[in-house]
Structure 1
């Protein structure tokens, strides 16, 4: 499923996924809660998803949910994610990131919701 995103939106998602391989500390339970099979799966799928985002390739609805959820958590949580270090490690301020995340949430939610209704109808 293709979702039209601005460059900064794609970059925040890419950086969010990359943070799990850096300063973030994911548990197996959290990886599974985010929709990945394990921490190893998060890291492995994260690389594939980062490449797909960079190339502007479509993702499955499940992948869109996982990408957004992983980015939300890694941005906000100082326990599991980058938290207070986010702006240092990604170059995006907290203010920029929250605005971008809200746009992403609206865009991706609307796209996924519309696709579900087209499939049901």
Structure 2
């Protein structure tokens, strides 16, 4: 389990797989120590037994608020801050680890190597 990386999730030992509906997605900017800014996305996922919040920090090529819509069925994977969109109707998907946009059907991300299988 990753504790912290430059971009992406700040993990903890209680991180677990979590399936539910996306209640909210927020975007903000965070100032880095070198003066640059990065995107910060906060995903709020709900299900019958509660609510979980995950935060992704990093550069992404698209606005994730255009990819995800509140009410979407999503699945959070351990160690990843971006949930998997369970609706397979889009021709592309977003890597759950790095946020890259890739064609649906690829087994792994060509940018970070994250395996989707």
The alignment's TM-score, normalised by the length of structure 2, stands at 0.26
Instruction: Please state which structure has a larger fraction of its residues in helix.
Output: 1
- Structure of higher RCO (CA pairs closer than 8 Å, 6+ residues apart): 1
Instruction: Please state which structure has a larger fraction of its residues in strand.
Output: 2
